[in-house]
Amino acid sequence: MKEAGEVIFGGATTVPVPDTDDNTSAGDAAALASGDLEPADGDNNERLGVVVEGMQSEDQKTVMLDGVIVASVASGTGAGVRVDIGNTTNSTVGKFEASSSGPGVTLCEEGGTYKGASIPTGYAVVAIA
């Protein structure tokens, strides 16, 4: 089984980012708000990247800016779907959701399998640029 926030392919660009209020979890689509990491909300901020699994401390987390990762997605998101960050309106803050012009593409369906490994419910393998 793949874990939320697990980087699938090496060579991804990652950066450490302050998360003083600890509002994000591995696999969340995340953004900066007033210098602190927050769940990305398409209504209020831009996506920075996805929080990486296992590379976190109480006040700082590692965020993958581009690459392929197990990321949080809206329920029912299919494979091969273009995705962008969700929003408050759709109750998908911190998740990727279907979007005709999004910067990401799902490589498996939500809660499905990727190269024989199961993906947790609420997550999919997503390639982001």
- Domain segments of the chain: what residues? 13-128
pLDDT digits (tens, 9 = 90+) for 9-56: 866 789 999 998 888 999 999 999 888 999 999 988 888 999 998 766
Beta-carbon contacts of residue 10 (< 8 Å; ≥ 6 apart) = none
49 is written with which tokens? 């990247």
60 is written with which tokens? 């700082």
**DSSP conformation letters of the chain:** -PPTT-B-SS--EEEEEE-TT----TT-EEEEETTEEEE--TTT----EEEEEEEE-SSEEEEEEEEEEEEEB-TT--TT-EEEE--TTTT-TTSEEE-TT-SEEESS-TT-EETTEE--TTEEEEEE-
Half-sphere exposure of 72 (CA within 13 A, CB side): 21
Confidence (pLDDT) at 129: 86
The model scores a pTM over 0.95: no
What CATH topology corresponds to 13-128? Answer: Virus Head Decoration Protein; Chain: A, (2.40.300)
Q: Which of 104, 97, 27 is nearest to 61 (CA)?
A: 27
The most confident of the ranges 36-40, 46-50, 101-105, 118-122 is 118-122
